[in-house]
Structure 1
Amino acid sequence: MASIIAGLAGGLVATIVMTILMMVIGDGGPPPTAALVAKFADGTPEDYEMPGMILHLIYGVLAGAVFAVGVPLMGLNLESIAVAVGLGLVYGIILMIGGMVFWMRMVIGMEPDRDTMTMFGTVHVVYGIVLGAFFGTGILA
């Protein structure tokens, strides 16, 4: 149970850092999750910017719990900061690819430009590194 709580907390911290970075280097538009909400709520992404941000926060927190449970199930150890950051980096890349291919293109039907893809990739890599660092420092161990 402690690993799930640590995963939720780590996911929250990593999502907050990721979101701040997204706001700094992004174009100021709504997150892709707003387009997902808009698709099912019949509106524009701008109409659903805040619900999109909340959905993104929920995804990030839950992804942290998946990391916390999944890494030990694969027989890997998060006690070393270098290993945890490395695993977090790999996880961030996996989330980036899944987000770009599955969510953005297949589910939402977006065809993002190069700048959007660069920002999207960067913030997901940062998410993974922060998540790994959170575990590697043993804050909630």
Structure 2
Amino acid sequence: MSTNTSTTRHADVSIGNWKAGVGGGIAGALVMGALVLAMNPPTLAVAIPSLYALAPPPNPGLGMVVHVSHGAILGVVFAGLAGAFDLDSTGELLGLGVAWGVVTWVGLAALLMPVWLSAVGSPASPPFPNFAIPSLLWHLVYGVVLGGVYVVVDAS
């Protein structure tokens, strides 16, 4: 006769502040979008709206709407991670923001976006993989603003 004991561990992501995540994600995406518009307008005007067949023709307004929507959703994921890892100090949340910026750059911008744009036949389809340094900068800015706004909104 044998006895089996199993242990189940659950990560509680409900303790993250999703409202702070949405606010931080929107703020981060707006700042990042302004930076993209200043440095490489076709990314925001053609590539991002092309993900959903909203371009061509170039449309930076629709690109910004799509981009900010993505930023808000990714902000909620950030909030879940902050809660799961029980992060609450400014330094920890800013650090998570930097890490989240790098993760979104690698996973979404460098790997997923080129495949997606190619699949939909976008004229703005970059090569695969697309580890563009300006894009890393943009995503780092997103992450820092997200983390900073999260700290402020979560404290209020």
TM over 0.5: yes
Q: What is the rounded CA distance, in whole Å, between the counterparts of 1:120 and 1:101 in structure 2?
A: 12
Equivalent residues in 2 for 1:1-141, closer than 5 Å: 3-26=17-40, 28-31=41-44, 32-38=47-53, 44=56, 46=58, 48-73=59-84, 75-77=85-87, 79-98=88-107, 99-103=109-113, 105-109=114-118, 110-112=125-127, 117-136=132-151, 138-141=152-155
1:29 counterpart SS class: helix
- Give every structure 1 segment of 4 or more consecutive aligned residues whose post-TM-superposition deviation is greater than 3 Å: none
Alpha carbon RMSD of aligned pairs, Å?
A: 2.5
Structure-1-length-normalised TM-score:
0.79
Q: How many residues align?
A: 131
2:76 counterpart SS class: helix
Q: Is the 2:82–2:93 Cα contact (8 Å) retained in structure 1?
A: no
Which consecutive unaligned segments of at least 5 residues does structure 2 have? Answer: 1-13, 119-124
- Which one has a bigger Cα radius of gyration? 2
2:154 counterpart SS class: coil
Q: What is the rounded CA distance, in whole Å, between the counterparts of 1:12 and 1:29 in structure 2?
A: 21
More helix by share: 1
